[in-house]
Structure 1
Amino acid sequence: MSQTLTVTGQRVLLPDSLDPRPATLTIESGKIVAIEDGWRKSDIDAGSYILIAGLVDAHVHLNEPGRTAWEVSASSLFSHSSDLSFFHQGFWTGTRAAAAGGVTCVVDMPLNSLPPTCSSANLDLKRAAATNQCFTDVAFWGGVIPGNQHHLRPLVDAGVKGFKCFLIDSGVEEFPCVSEEDTQSAMEILQDLSTVLLFHAEFDHAPSQPAQPPQPSTAYNTFLQSRPEKLEVDAISLITRLQQRYPALRCHIVHLSAASALPVIRAAKAAGAKLTVETCFHYLCLAADHLPDGHPEFKCCPPIRDDTNRQLLWEALLDGTIDCVVSDHSPCVAELKHIDDGDIMGAWGGISTLGLGLSLLWTEGSKRGVSLAQILDWTSKKTAEHASLHHRKGALKVGFDADFVVWDPDAEFTVTKESLHFKNKLSAYEGLNLRGQVKQTYVRGSLVYDSTASDAFVNPPVGNLL
């Protein structure tokens, strides 16, 4: 957009302040070009609501191309057959849901799309699938799998923000886990590049154990016992040991769930390791103690653990051991989730969260005295830094993209299927009462979501591929 736009509000949360204050932003060509203290008559007035920077969700599975049905329930496939917009899957539905939750940029994981983003040719296919479909800006992670080391440098040149690998079975055959030798080969190549290596940090190297009496596959505790905290502790111990050989390369732990791994992380950081860590909304807002059996919508890998563990994760987030919070939005078709038979052990492991994260953290964080500024630090500033987008995303600053959200901190709502904007309406949060709600979301100065409009997504998608 080339025209000048002014945005004002009585409560604008700027990066140099813990509390919102009156301010006015001037926007040209989608960038913030000036910020002045005080309210004045403007094109957009947030009024008494809070104006905040858009969130950057650095861990999202949009599953396109190849598994676009995973953003939609199979039962809906025929009931919506006359709705042409329904056939836009993956990027279309996922980024709409993100925008409804105040997310203005997502970083897409290399799986579970087909093919996975493990070569520059596959990245081209993903970019083609995403073109003209995105309501938020979208960046991309690449993948490390056995034997693709020669693709890593070309992927960096093609613009991926870093690389994801698994130290345990990923759940999809086209994205196999890496061995210690594979990991070292990748680190050898990546250590001289401006990039980051992300780890799904579960490592199961124990010999097979004697058969145990069968446990009910519908019991959450059966699943919890199958993914003990030791898998995460062992993986992070391996990662920090390998990192000592390649100290120039930043490594990142995705979706940390096990608090027992925190001492290993603290020791590595204290020793100067370039190590960053994320956790997820579900690990901070849900606890295994309160999860019902026969409900696979709560299954994710690693698992949601007990309430004591959850409190330790909050403490680690507050003291800086954990750097940021992401969704790990990972939908699938209803059949794979085994909702009908409640088979948790057989169900796909993933929780759909896009659109709810800010409200979840505000609701739960308020009980702990957490400020909105802290939440934005974890979900916008730090996630932008993690994905090397900190020069343009993550704050209301001059020179940055004009990504902003009009936020009502006092609104209360109940999560229902109808309130979810991703197509596969299976949520671990259904029925939860939340506080704080997005009124409007703007990407580079363009309105992409308006909760007050009859059609909340009245404008066409404006998202760029970064």
Structure 2
Amino acid sequence: MATFDLVVRGKLVLENEVASGEIGVKNGKVETVSRERGTLTGARELDFGASYVFPGFIDAHVHCFSNPQEGFIATSAAAAAGGVTTFFDMPYDLPHPVNHLEQFKRKVAQLEQEAMVDICLWGTIAKTGGTDQIIPLAEAGAVAFKMSTFETDAYRFPRIPDSEILKAMELIQSTGLVAAFHSENDEIIADLIAEYKKANKVYPRAHMETRPPVTETSAVLKLMEFAYWTGVKLHIVHVSHPRTIDLIKLFRNLGVHVTCETCYPYLLLDVRALDEFGPKAKNNPPLRNPEEVRGLWEHLHAGHIDMITSDHAPWGAEHKDIGKENIFLAASGLPGVEIIGPLMFDSTVAKGRLTPVQFARLMSQNPAEVFQIPGKGKIAVGYDADFAVINPEEKWTLDETKFRSRSKMSPFHGKQVQGKVVHTIVRGTTVFDGQEITVTPGFGHFVPGAAVKKSASGRM
């Protein structure tokens, strides 16, 4: 009888089935998967009974440093408590975005000192003249490149001109990595906001009214046509409207390699949350009408959405409360890396809307495959022993004051949730025991992107 470093028992959510079995782990990797219990022994054994053992969740859209008070320590602790074993940190850091090699190297060094789960890093480019950094960033391990057609900040989060987007796409295509975009039409939005401000229409719902669906769909259309001509792998982040998915399906049929994500707020909230919570529910793109949310769910059930992400944006009260009388003054974004797993489980598996296997594909397998992260996203031999354990029967109340993130504001505060993360394991080590974070900063690893291997083999 084989002896392992760790044996994990429970309802294993495998690639194509749920099996009551056990996993043998050695040196941080899955060495065997048994579809029965009691056949494996380990130096450490964890029996989770009827709880689901999912592959560790992968959140491809997290902002650790848009609010520099957050950082890797708080975010990775929040991730561990939410069953997120790997996340991708966005490049729009304050004070300096990750748009050149030296900044990227500094961030990797900080990550290795502070992370408590595994982390991939996005790269980006400057507004103009920055495409020469794409190959160096890819070779240094950027997981993908994020750009925007909307200008949040001319330096930190700029709108990239079309000519630069085309240059960037051609270079990114040569690396084999993904070009991802925040897709909103800057000109239309800026004009509408100016009109609304002039008319003193600054109530919460004005945030949605100044970002109508056409501002998303028109931006996505342009990017997919650019991807058609450059051959790049395109990813559309935080899709908020079902018509965007209709257009993505059309361009997929035309041969464009385009994937997409939506975020948990677009599935679980609608514009009425802006009326009720004001700045707490403000994010970009905005929350949509109830019938449009239903359309997103239809696409999710049909398999047209590749993954669900949090777009974790950890703003404090000082960034949100200033918009109570004028919604345009408030920062955009919600915290989410700690709550996306249980909230989505509650709204899907617990209610019979998705199977555990479908849930695992959206939350783990698809992000790993879209962004080409080997050894992550599945419970399979040779893969990292990354697991998120959810007790499907446990009911609890979400409390924003207990978030490990520095952001303590959520429109989901007080929500009753069925399904609780009771254990999180990264590379065979418990990082969250259901109550406390059990590792120290520096346990987490930097996970380099796929272009590093290409570079090493001389193919890039």
TM-score, normalised via structure 1 length? 0.89
Query: In structure 2, what residue type is equivalent to 1:230?
Result: V
Ranges in structure 1 where 5+ consecutive residues have no aligned partner: 72-89
Rounded Cα–Cα distance in structure 2 between residues aligned with 1:272 and 1:319 = 20
* Map of 2:22 onto structure 1: 24
SS at match of 1:345: helix
* Map of 1:168 onto structure 2: 150
Query: In structure 2, what residue type is equivalent to 1:148?
Result: G
Alignment pair present for 1:375 and 2:359: yes
Larger mean CA deviation between 250-259 and 187-196 belongs to 187-196
Larger mean CA deviation between 23-32 and 200-209 belongs to 200-209
Aligned residues: 435
SS at match of 1:393: coil
Query: In structure 2, what residue type is equivalent to 1:96?
Result: A
Query: In structure 1, what residue type is equivalent to 2:16?
Result: D
Pick aligned residue for 1:407 from 374, 385, 390: 390
* Map of 2:338 onto structure 1: 355
Pick aligned residue for 1:136 from 98, 105, 117: 117
How far 1:204 moved relative to its partner? 3.0
Pick aligned residue for 2:88 from 84, 103, 107: 107
* Map of 1:266 onto structure 2: 249
* Map of 1:182 onto structure 2: 164
* Map of 1:13 onto structure 2: 13
* Map of 1:307 onto structure 2: 290
Alignment pair present for 1:232 and 2:216: yes
How far 1:221 moved relative to its partner? 1.5
* Map of 1:123 onto structure 2: 104
Query: In structure 2, what residue type is equivalent to 1:147?
Result: G
Rounded Cα–Cα distance in structure 1 between residues aligned with 2:10 and 2:221 = 48
Q: Structure 1 339/413 Cα, relative in aligned 2: closer, same or farther at 3 Å?
A: farther
Alignment pair present for 1:155 and 2:155: no
* Map of 1:196 onto structure 2: 178
Q: Deviations over 1:329-359 (max 9, x none)?
A: 0112321112684532110001101111111
TM-score, normalised via structure 2 length? 0.90
Q: Is the 8 A contact 1:56 1:106 kept in 2?
A: yes
Q: Is the 8 A contact 2:315 2:334 kept in 1?
A: no
Alignment pair present for 1:424 and 2:424: no
How far 1:215 moved relative to its partner? 4.0
Query: In structure 1, what residue type is equivalent to 2:431?
Result: V
Q: Name the one with the larger helix percent.
A: 2
Q: Is the 8 A contact 2:100 2:125 kept in 1?
A: no
Q: Structure 1 140/108 Cα, relative in aligned 2: closer, same or farther at 3 Å?
A: same
* Map of 1:440 onto structure 2: 423
Structure 1's consecutive aligned runs of 4 or more residues displaced over 6 angstroms after TM superposition are none
Query: In structure 2, what residue type is equivalent to 1:378?
Result: L
Rounded Cα–Cα distance in structure 2 between residues aligned with 1:259 and 1:14 = 30
How far 1:251 moved relative to its partner? 0.4
Rounded Cα–Cα distance in structure 1 between residues aligned with 2:75 and 2:325 = 26
Share of identical aligned residues, percent? 28
Rounded Cα–Cα distance in structure 1 between residues aligned with 2:369 and 2:411 = 29
How far 1:317 moved relative to its partner? 1.6
How far 1:368 moved relative to its partner? 5.6
* Map of 2:455 onto structure 1: none
Rounded Cα–Cα distance in structure 2 between residues aligned with 1:48 and 1:367 = 17
* Map of 1:250 onto structure 2: 233
Superposition CA RMSD, Å: 2.0
Q: Structure 1 353/10 Cα, relative in aligned 2: closer, same or farther at 3 Å?
A: closer
